[in-house]
Amino acid sequence: MRFAARVEVRLRPGIADPEGATIERALPALGFEDVSALATGRVFRFEVEAATEARARERAEALAGALLANPVLEEASVSVCSLEA
């Protein structure tokens, strides 16, 4: 069965986010003084071929931990859903 997986990689709390800080600093001058606490991250979407949803999640978590996130600086959250009818 095919599953769609989505991995969101964020910086761990306390790790500096210079891109987010730069955007946030620019917001008031650009008319967005109502926006705060901006943080950036990366997202990876892919398909996994697996027998069960539990197995697909396991594989997506393995990929996230091994290749997509740097566990020293980042944390990953994984969601999986079936692509079959």
16 part of the interface to a second copy, by CB under 8 A: no
44 part of the interface to a second copy, by CB under 8 A: yes
Interatomic CA distance for residues 67 and 38, integer angstroms: 25
C-beta of 9: minimal distance to a second copy in Å? 8
For a second copy, the closer of residues 41 and 53 by Cβ is 41
**Member of 21, 43, 54, 81 binding a second copy (CB under 8 A):** 43
Beta-bridge mates of residue 7:
44, 78
CB atoms within 10 A of CB 10: 18
C-beta of 76: minimal distance to a second copy in Å? 12
Task: Tell me the three state secondary structure of residue 80.
Answer: strand
**Member of 15, 21, 47, 79 binding a second copy (CB under 8 A):** 47
Task: Tell me the three state secondary structure of residue 21.
Answer: helix
Interatomic CA distance for residues 62 and 55, integer angstroms: 10
The site for a second copy (CB under 8 A) is made up of 5, 8, 10, 20, 23-24, 26-27, 30, 32, 34-50, 59, 62-63, 66-68
